[in-house]
């Protein structure tokens, strides 16, 4: 295993991350650390389907294996000539699932995580985004460190590495580098002694702490703890650093923090069985469906359906509150994977039709309410509307249990530019005409917050309000902030 790092030479696509991070330190030596990490990443598969990687350490060497594909594909040990868990020895590990949506290809083999240097000193993984890299770039320029062709995670990695090479421990390096990291991050790093996790001052992305048989775990979501039968301890606090080593877990505050979790974690990103801010995500989504039923028109509908899978809990809640029967009008093929076709209209339609199939007997001659979590470009909504009409639906009315997305995200989610956001400039009537539906309704902003059941002050609502709790620097020039109705 040359250089202790392995990845396959499969062409990549430009990163646009909504990712998962996971780390575990086994102080008792009772766990198969690599398999446990792979199981944790599998539970977090929804946060990234493009690539997966694990770095492990035995206290002397860091071993890394990463490549494109789903977790079960990357860590398939049926052919030891390709991969074996024996390639990842040790009692501590960090892992990463990567999500990328840009169709542009780039240099093969780069930008996969965990990031590791040639000397195997430091491995790092990141969920989030640094919208303004000016502070890091200035620091690296002053130190004479090359950061050309590196993304934000890799620039954070070389920053830490520079402090370490000058004599700092990993925890000390994190503390010194924290002032340079200006964006949203749940960030995890590992050397031969420690695993250290930090969270940005607003806690934009989720980050949890768990314990399993004396081992400490850091995970993007609590669902991974449940799958491993680990105990949830608490969340990493905004602005906090958590250090795990042979002595156990300790933490310190790196600066004043104020919780502002991305509201889209509740609406779409997080797994329904995860806990966020003390709320079960799936129950919050069902409640949003109920709120929608109380505040939206029912259009004399015969049935309410969801766009699977994300729209299903909303549709169930709408049905429960309204009394309109819930029906499975769309069936999802869960084995199609992600398409690598060109992003033109015809290929997108082929992709969607491969994933969703309308049930004619359920839809024929019916007035159909279609519940979904959000509407971004409305490309899918237009194709689904056409499919429902082809299946015989008499009327198609969309009920979106969140407000109009009017602003781009700069905190780690690959959303389109503002000009591509259907809700940025079009009203619901114009949107319904655009997608060929009979009507489109969005949940009012205040009702959306009430349905989630978490104080607005604890949430980042930038996609809806244009209020960005962490400064986005030069990115302000890319759009005009708008507030959803």
Phi-psi group of 34: left, alpha or beta (phi > 0 → left; psi -120 to 50 → alpha; rest → beta): alpha
φ, ψ of residue 295 to 5 degrees: the values are: -110, -10
Beta strand 215-219 with 20-25 is antiparallel
Closest CA to 196 of 228, 235, 169: 169
In whole angstroms, give the CA distance from residue 99 to residue 454: 27
Give the chain's largest Cα–Cα span. Answer: 72
In sequence order, which residues have a C-beta less than 8 Å from that of residue 176 and are 6 or more positions away?
163, 168
Cα dist. 77→34, 125, 169, 186, 240 in Å?
Answer: 12, 23, 35, 29, 37
In sequence order, which residues have a C-beta less than 8 Å from that of residue 53 and are 6 or more positions away?
7, 64, 65, 66, 67, 74, 95, 96, 98, 112, 113, 114, 125
In whole angstroms, give the CA distance from residue 336 to residue 329: 19
Choose the catalytic residue: 19, 110, 202, 427. 19
Is 19 designated active site?
A: yes
- Contact call for residues 289 and 272 (beta carbons, < 8 A): no
Please tell me whether residue 297 adopts helix, strand or coil conformation.
coil
Chain centroid offset of residue 454 CA: 20
In sequence order, which residues have a C-beta less than 8 Å from that of residue 141 and are 6 or more positions away?
none
In whole angstroms, give the CA distance from residue 272 to residue 255: 31
Give catalytic residue positions.
Answer: 19
């Amino acid at each position: 295993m040359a250089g202790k790092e392995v990845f396959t030479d499969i062409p990549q696509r430009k990163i646009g991350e909504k990712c998962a991070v996971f780390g575990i330190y086994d102080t008792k030596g009772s766990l198969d650390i690599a398999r446990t990490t792979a199981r944790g990443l599998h539970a977090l598969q929804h946060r990234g389907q493009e690539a997966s990687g694990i770095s492990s350490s035995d206290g002397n060497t860091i071993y890394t294996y990463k490549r494109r594909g789903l977790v079960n594909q990357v860590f398939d040990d049926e052919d030891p000539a390709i991969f074996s868990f024996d390639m990842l020895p040790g009692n501590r590990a960090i892992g990463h699932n990567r999500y990328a949506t840009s169709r542009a290809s780039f240099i093969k083999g780069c930008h996969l995580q965990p990031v590791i240097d040639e000397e195997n000193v430091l491995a790092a993984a990141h969920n989030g985004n640094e919208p303004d890299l000016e502070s890091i770039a200035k620091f690296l320029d002053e130190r004479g460190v090359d950061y050309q062709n590196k993304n934000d995670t890799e620039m954070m990695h070389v920053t830490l590495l520079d402090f370490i090479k000058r004599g700092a421990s990993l925890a000390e390096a994190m503390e010194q580098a924290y002032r340079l990291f200006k964006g949203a991050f749940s960030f995890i790093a590992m050397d031969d002694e420690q695993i250290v996790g930090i969270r940005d001052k607003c806690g934009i992305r989720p980050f949890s702490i768990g314990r399993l048989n004396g081992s400490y775990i850091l995970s993007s979501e609590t669902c991974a703890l449940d799958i491993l039968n680990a105990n949830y301890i608490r969340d990493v606090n905004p602005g906090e650093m958590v250090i795990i080593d042979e002595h156990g877990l300790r933490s310190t505050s790196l600066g004043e923090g104020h919780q502002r979790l991305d509201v889209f974690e509740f609406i779409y990103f997080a797994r329904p069985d995860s806990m966020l801010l003390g709320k079960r995500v799936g129950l919050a989504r069902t409640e949003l469906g109920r709120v929608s039923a109380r505040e939206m028109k029912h259009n004399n509908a015969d049935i309410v359906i969801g766009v699977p899978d994300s729209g299903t809990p909303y549709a169930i809640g709408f049905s429960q509150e309204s009394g309109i029967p819930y029906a499975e009008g769309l069936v999802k093929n869960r084995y199609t994977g992600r398409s690598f076709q060109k992003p033109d209209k015809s290929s997108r339609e082929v992709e969607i039709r491969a994933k969703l199939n309308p049930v004619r007997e359920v839809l024929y001659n019916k007035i159909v309410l279609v519940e979904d979590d959000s509407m971004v470009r409305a490309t899918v909504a237009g194709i689904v509307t056409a499919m429902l009409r082809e299946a015989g639906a008499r009327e198609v009315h969309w009920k979106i249990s969140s407000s109009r997305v009017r602003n781009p995200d700069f905190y780690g989610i690959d959303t389109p530019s503002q000009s591509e956001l259907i809700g940025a400039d079009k009203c619901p009537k114009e949107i319904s005409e655009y997608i060929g539906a009979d009507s489109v309704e969005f949940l009012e902003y205040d009702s959306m917050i009430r349905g989630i059941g978490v104080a607005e002050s604890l949430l980042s609502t930038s996609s809806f309000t244009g209020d960005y709790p962490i400064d986005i620097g030069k990115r302000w020039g890319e759009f005009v902030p708008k507030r959803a109705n």
